[in-house]
Amino acid sequence: MLANRIFALLVGLLSLQTVTLAATPDHDGESASRHVKTIVLGSGCFWGAEKGYEALPGVIDAVSGYADGRNIKPVYKEITRSEYRLDPDNYAEVVEVRYNTEVLSTGALLRQFFEHHDPTQKNRQGNDIGTQYRSIILYTDDEQREVAQYTRDQYQALLTAAGYGAIVTEIKPLQEFHRAEDYHQDYLAKHPNGYCPNHATGVTFEKVVSIPTDNSALMKGRQIVVLEAEHCPFCERFKRDVSSQYRGSIPMTYRMASQLDGLTLKTPTWATPTIYFLEDGKEMFGHQGYMTASEFYQALGYFKLGDSESYKVAFSQGTDSRFCRQYDEFKNTPDGVFIDKLSGMPLFDTRDRFNSGTGWLSFTRPVEGATIERPDNSFGLERTEVLSKSSGIHLGHVFDDGPDGKPRYCINATVLEFQPRN
């Protein structure tokens, strides 16, 4: 099947980096260490939170402590002083959770975090008032950061439907964790009737709010769907670097995780951005995380062109056969422009086309700013290669033997599409 060939080629040649959910161990000890992660969570008084995490299957250890502060000594008597109650530099009461991701996923752990406090309360939980009680997630790797952002956005939709306000949970990289005093560790195990407030909203992830989305257009033909989330810096980066300049013939659509109704997807939806390449609503292949323009267009090249001569020309510096079929189609088109077959950006204008008699499309110049030129010394020759600036694909070469002393851009027709001028 085409989809299988595309996927195999992508795996072998693209080296696209997807998030590894379960690595194959070389040694048992190494495997165990790879699946153990640490995250630091603050949701008010750490006594009850610590007990809750320790009860979860897959949690190896939960330790009460302090984090995300500065200029204040990280000890209980200092952070609870009245003058620090509203100090933004105060430390937060947190729990350091060490867990086995083969037993407990980061997403499941963070669903516990959100469900067991009120993340819409700023610098407090109930009657516990102060910056030390702020809601905070301190991650130790990119996977945790992405899952935290996604889980927060999921929970926000549920809270909004239930009449709650905006989530104020901070999501930051962990700088340093300070273990709390010994009498705070396992406090509720030592004092079963101790103080253990429950400020949960009662809103749970089991009560999923369906957001109807019309995906009928995505069920037809080839489509590109980009999964995004609010406050996702890598989503914004992908928009800036890739999608804002994309004009290709395969439609590109953005969706939130709650807007994927009817699509058949294999790649998990917790990471953003995730780019899905679909055919008739079914995923052919997908990529979790940010893609550079080069990575995106090579994947798109296989998706659109398959294992074809066009692909080899575009990505392996191939050359069309002289007087090929596409050349015959394009040598006498009406007035218009030739565009990049993948990005859809204009490359050459028919007004700059001439018949060189070589059997390849020839132009005296490209559209301004549309191409890149670089030395090409392959095959023992000294030539200048021409590439598309938008997608990076190989277009051909430029020589100095054009008409009236102008350059001759010798361009492969198989990597172009034609648009009449309008």
Task: Give me the active site residues, please.
Answer: 45, 410
Tokens of 401: 């033997």
> Distances from the Cα of 165 to the Cαs of 119, 159, 231, in angstroms?
9, 7, 17
Distance, in Å, from the CA atom of 135 to the CA atom of 42, rounded to the nearest integer, reads 5
Tokens of 52: 């809750």
Distance, in Å, from the CA atom of 6 to the CA atom of 76, rounded to the nearest integer, reads 58
Cα angle value 312/318/319 (rounded, 5°): 125
Helix/strand/coil (H/E/C) assignment for every residue in 113-130 = HHHCCCCCCCCEECCEEC
233-240 own/partner pairs: CB under 8 Å, 24+ apart: 234/272, 234/273, 234/289, 234/290, 235/272, 235/273, 237/290, 238/273, 238/275, 238/290, 238/291
Distance, in Å, from the CA atom of 310 to the CA atom of 318, rounded to the nearest integer, reads 8
Are 46 and 52 in contact by the 8 Å Cβ rule? The answer is: no
Distance, in Å, from the CA atom of 274 to the CA atom of 188, rounded to the nearest integer, reads 42
| Secondary structure (DSSP) of 242-308 | TGGG---SS-EEEE-GGG-TT-B--S-SSSSSEEEEEETTEEEEEEES---HHHHHHHHHHHHH-SS
Tokens of 407: 């350059």
> Distances from the Cα of 171 to the Cαs of 42, 148, 149, 168, 175, in angstroms?
10, 7, 8, 9, 12
Query: Cβ of 79: how many Cβ atoms within 10 Å?
Result: 23
Tokens of 381: 């020759």
